[in-house]
Structure 1
Amino acid sequence: MHHTKQRARLRKVPATYQAHHTAKVGMGRAQAALDSTLLSDLAWLWDTVAEPVLRTLDEKRPPAGERHRIWWCPTGWLSFFPLHAAGHHDGSGRSVLDRTVSSYAPTLRALAEATRLREPEPTGTDRLLVVAVREADGMAPLPQVAEELRLLREVFGEERLTLLEGPEANRTAVLSQLATHRWVHFSCHGRQNPLDPAQGGLLLSDGTLGIGELSRGSYRGDFAFLSACMTASGGLSLSDEAITIGAALHYSGFRRVVAALWSIDAEIATELARDVFCSLMEDGLFRPRRSAGAVTEAVTRLRNQNPEHPSRWAAFTHIGP
């Protein structure tokens, strides 16, 4: 009976999250119902998955002042859950966010490959590729695009940005520039089809840059920030196969990827981007190797501001070493 109830829950919750993907964030009672579901799920994930794992890890405690470093590699229905945010978010400290630095591994092989590759030292001359598409066919304009451009100009300086904006942000140009940049920031719409996840992608000026096109690339990237909806979301029918936009970039050679499990609030996405990019830039050097910790800290700050609204902060994930 216990296992039957767990299976029923695993089948029900992804449908709840997927339904939210098609709704506007912040719609009164529907939003409150989603947050209530999420809080219940996060507590359940802590009790049944995360806390037993951490109890075992606590037998080898990290050095004082440090957190456990964890990579989650979920399969099946668990791949829809925000394991990095599991917990009782009531100030008790019983949460993954309070005790670990978490990342995801689409596959163990991909993580091992990303870890094995030699990481170049940061320089003060490398450029950030920025793909900014405020308006895409059939989609509402994205208000955060202009704000994120201002943020990135503040952090990197105009001279260290390669900007593809509006019509210039087309599939051919983006794929070409990905081959020559170690870092990329996408500020655009993301699309995922839960019934056919291979049809998901990023909405550019001339159409969708699909998961298949991204995964066929061969890049030497260090960091990709996807300020776009549903970029860490896979499909209901192929949940074991990690067919997501974020995973596609990771497979193609970008070691570290920040992505979102569901539709994200524009202002919150910009706030998270500000925290992460400012944290990783030090003395003019951008250090993405610290990105997992930066994302964890940024999400924790958002959680502390809105603990009762996990739909606003639990979606953001980190992929890679």
Structure 2
Amino acid sequence: MIEDAVQLTPHDHPHKPACLSNLGNSLFTRFHHLPDAAALNNAILAFSAAARSSAGPSSTRLKAALQWIRCAHLIPSESLLDAYAVAIDLIPQAAWLGLPLRDRHRELLRAADVVRDAAAYALARGYYNTAIEWLEQGRSVVWNQLLQLRTPLDELQSRDSTLANRLRQVSYELEKGSGHDMAGAGEMKNAGGFSLEEQARQYRGLAVERETILSEVRCLPGFERFLLPRTVSQLAPSAHAGPVVILNASQYRCDALVLLAESDDVLHVPLPDITYEQVDNLQKSLNRLLASHGRVISPMDRAIREVVWRDRTPDESFKFILSELWKNVVRPMLDALAFSTPTAGELSRIFWCPTGPFSFLPIHAAGLYDDANTGPKLSDFVISSYTPTLSALALPLQEGTTANTMRLVVVPQPASDGHTRLPGARIELGHIKTTLQTSPSTPVSLVESIGTVDDVLTKMKESDWIHFACHGIQDVRSPLDSGIVLADRRLLKLTDVIKLARRHGGLAFLSACQTATGDKDLPEEAVHLAAGMLLAGYGGVVATMWSIRDSDAPKVAKSVYEQLFRDGNLPDYRQAARALHYAVKRLREEHNVPCVSWVPFVHIGL
């Protein structure tokens, strides 16, 4: 009967992929009960036909592609590479712009591992460029969609102003609704008088119209790849400030891929001494430390959570995790890059782009800390930054300001945030003021926000840099609602930040807890406030992987700004990673704090 349904359904019918998938599932079940290679091969044919169909919902075709991959792994199949390629192409289509953000994230959960597994298979076949292109295309899908809506259209404007204007208007309308959530819309009305159901329908129509316009643009000579996934040659300039290392953790193997500014070739570094299971166990061990007797979240921490101190220090367990990362991940990378001995002079930079469970591990702190005098550490060799994608490191077409002065907005803990007072927040603000006063020639004007959500968003648009010293929340149930606690107990949410489009450049210093924590279920999507700041246009972000102590934050901020403002010139946000590197080193060595206190400070971006 299923075969008959497939035969009777026209090729361009929207139910065709579902019929083919049902046939594939039936054949796959037959294979399991009666080991029949022919049934498995026929299942592969059915799933591949469903996945490649030009009709039907993208989510249905993505499910078929995932089943195709599953079947092709069971027998030697030349179609496996094609199966992965089709799946990677379908991921952004399934999580398309016409869906609310939360629905897009739900779609991406279906393909949680396939991107990393695809890269691992490509690496096993020697296709290094393909692996990088797939990892870039299939990760941070939602962020890339939102960034595309803000793509400058100057070249298209000069070629076809009508198309450019249509695309600009549709993109603007889509971006206005980029934070919408129409789930369970019913007949509720929005501010414009439309029901949420009508608003959702309008939004889906705009997404379809945009795809039509893009198809027309790609028919123009020279625009054939307009807003299509980037190739390695297009991604290579991302390494302009230093090597970019992608750490891929797959159930089949772990690898590192390196882009270098001076080379067109991708450097592949296998990591045979660590497996996905071991990386995952390191992440779980870290989580247990932080939750039970490690991060040590007290009333004087900048997080909203209640965990009591324990008598036993987690330092030895932390040191074990950092040593495992050093021996099995970082040391092989440094050897491949010819970093044989610590650098005596100025350290160069390196950018880490971790995937899967690597995304939640402190790669930047890897090293041997049993003997601080002799144990090698990553920080002895390079200055580390993180990036959610390669594209996030691309040089902007133009920086945000060419003025001779800059505005730094500070947001200390508001009195009405409804949470435990943070004495360190005012100390932190005092350090920044003092640093500027002792460097009178530094062309920086300091502006203090009143701490309301509206005031902060307005000042983010108008200023160059911003510094928060507040409580932070990573909402584990709804990561898009993570944010910073401001006046009147309101949150500056991730959904607020990603709607903000400001001029590119500047530093966002998030001296609050858990601002780069992310969602464990969506490790490839960088669902945290720090990534949102990059999306809003900041060139670099100082953030935290977990809770920080109120007494440590002012020390780090003081050291960072002393370095950035010391020469009296216009500060460069691209020096923030270097400043944070030495600030954390000072916290670790001079103040002798445990690993749990200095490790969480990280730099993201340029």
How does the TM-score come out when normalised to structure 2?
Answer: 0.48
| Counterpart for residue 57 of structure 1 | 337
8 Å Cα contact 2:290-2:296 kept in structure 1: no
Q: Is 2:305 the partner of 1:23?
A: no
Alpha-carbon offset, residue 264 of structure 1: 0.7
Asked if the contact 2:339–2:381 (Cα under 8 Å) also holds between the matched residues in 1, the reply is no
- Measured after TM superposition, the shift of residue 30 of structure 1 is 2.6
Distance 1:99 1:290, change over 3 A: same
Alpha-carbon distance, 1:144 to partner: 1.0
**Corresponding position of 1:226:** 510
Report the CA distance shift for 1:29/1:125 in structure 2 as closer, same or farther (over 3 A).
closer
Candidates 190, 197, 209, aligned match of 2:492: 209
Q: Which residues of structure 1 form unaligned runs of 5+?
A: none
Of 183, 199, 218, the match for 2:465: 183
**Superposed displacement of residue 236, structure 1:** 1.8
Residues 1:312 and 2:597 are matched in the alignment: yes
Q: Is the 8 A contact 2:297 2:308 kept in 1?
A: no
Identify the match of residue 144 of structure 1 among 401, 413, 424.
424
For residues 76-133 of structure 1, the C-alpha deviation after alignment (integer angstroms, 9 at most, x for no partner) is: 2111111111111222251111111110102212222xx3343467765322111112
8 Å Cα contact 1:93-1:99 kept in structure 2: no
Matches within 5 A, 1:34-53: 34-53=314-333
Whole-Å separation in 2 of the counterparts to 1:120 and 1:205: 29
How many Å separate the matches in 1 of 2:343 and 2:554?
Answer: 33
Separation in structure 1 between the aligned mates of residue 400 and residue 342 of structure 2, nearest angstrom: 27
Alignment of 1:1-321 (within 5 A): 3=275, 4-18=277-291, 20=294, 23-24=297-298, 30=310, 32-58=312-338, 65-89=345-369, 90=371, 91-112=373-394, 115-119=395-399, 125-135=405-415, 137-157=417-437, 160-164=445-449, 168-206=450-488, 207-220=490-503, 221-281=505-565, 282-305=567-590, 309-321=594-606
- Supply the AA of the counterpart residue of 2:554: T
- Mapped partners of 2:363, 2:531: distance in 1: 16
Checking the alignment, whether the CA contact within 8 Å between 2:342 and 2:381 is kept in structure 1 is no
Q: Pick 1 or 2: higher relative contact order, CA cutoff 8 A, min separation 6.
A: 1
Change (3 A) 1:8 1:150: closer
Mapped to 2, the partners of 1:69 and 1:34 lie a distance apart of 30
Amino acid at match of 1:156: L
> Counterparts of 2:491 and 2:539 in 1: how far apart (Å)?
23
**Matches of 1:156 and 1:310, distance apart in 2:** 30
- Deviation string for 1:197-245 (max 9, x for gaps)? 2221010003001011112211124111111111111122222211111
Q: Residues 484 and 492 of structure 2 are in contact (CA less than 8 Å); yes or no, is this contact kept in structure 1?
A: yes
Residues 241 and 287 from structure 1, CA distance in 2 versus in 1: closer, same or farther, beyond 3 angstroms? same
Distance (Å, rounded) in 2 between the aligned partners of 1:62 and 1:46: 14
Paired residue secondary structure (2:580): helix
Deviation, 1:22, is 7.2
Quote the offset at 1:136 in angstroms.
5.1
Q: Which amino acid aligns with 2:537?
A: G
Structure 1 position 62, deviation (Å) = 10
Q: 2:230: which partner in 1? A: none
**What displacement does 1:307 show?**
5.6
Whether contact under 8 Å (1:122, 1:286) holds in the other structure is no
Q: Secondary structure at the match of 1:33?
A: coil
Contact map agreement 2:279 2:358 (CA 8 A) in 1? no
Structure-2 change in CA distance of 1:96 and 1:32 (3 Å): farther
The 1:60–1:133 alpha-carbon spacing in structure 2 relative to 1, beyond 3 Å, is same
Q: Structure 1 CA distance, aligned partners of 2:475 and 2:345? A: 42
Q: Are the counterparts in 1 of residues 494 and 528 from structure 2 also a CA contact under 8 Å?
A: yes
State the shift of 1:319 in Å: 0.8
Specify whether residues 42 and 143 from structure 1 end up closer, same or farther in structure 2 by C-alpha distance, changes over 3 A only. same
* d(CA) in 2 for partners of 1:149, 1:287: 20
Shift of 1:151: 1.4
Alpha carbons of 1:18 and 1:198: their partners in 2 closer, same or farther (altered >3 Å)? farther
Indicate conservation of the 8 Å contact 2:274/2:329, yes or no: no
Structure 1 pair 93–33 and aligned structure 2 pair: CA distance change class (3 A)? closer
Between structure 1 and structure 2, the one with the greater Rg is 2
Identity of aligned residues (%): 34
The answer on whether the counterparts of 1:14 and 1:77 sit within 8 Å (CA) in structure 2 is: no
**Distance in 2 between the 1:63 and 1:265 partners?**
31
Measure the CA separation in 1 of the matches of 2:460 and 2:559: 24
Q: Tell me the distance in 2 between the aligned counterparts of 1:210 and 1:35.
A: 33
Structure 1 vs Structure 2 CA RMSD: 2.8
Check the 8 A contact 1:82/1:314 in 2, yes or no: yes
Q: Which amino acid aligns with 1:187?
A: A
Distance in 1 (CA, whole Å) between partners of 2:340 and 2:285 is 36
Whole-Å separation in 2 of the counterparts to 1:145 and 1:56? 43
The 1-side partners of 2:366 and 2:548 are apart by: 18
Aligned length in residues: 316
Q: Measured at CA, do residues 48 and 306 of structure 1 come closer, stay the same or move farther in structure 2, by a change above 3 Å?
A: farther
Distance 1:117 1:266 in 2: 38
SS in 2 for 1:58: coil
Deviation at 1:253? 0.3
Matched residue SS, 2:384: strand
CA separation of 1:7/1:153 partners in 2, compared to 1, >3 Å: closer, same or farther? Answer: closer
Deviates more, 1:304-313 or 1:100-109: 304-313
Instruction: List per-residue Cα deviations over 1:133-190 (Å, max 9, x = no partner).
Output: 24454421111121112112122359821111xxx21111111110111111111111
Q: 1:135 to 1:47 in 2, by over 3 A?
A: farther
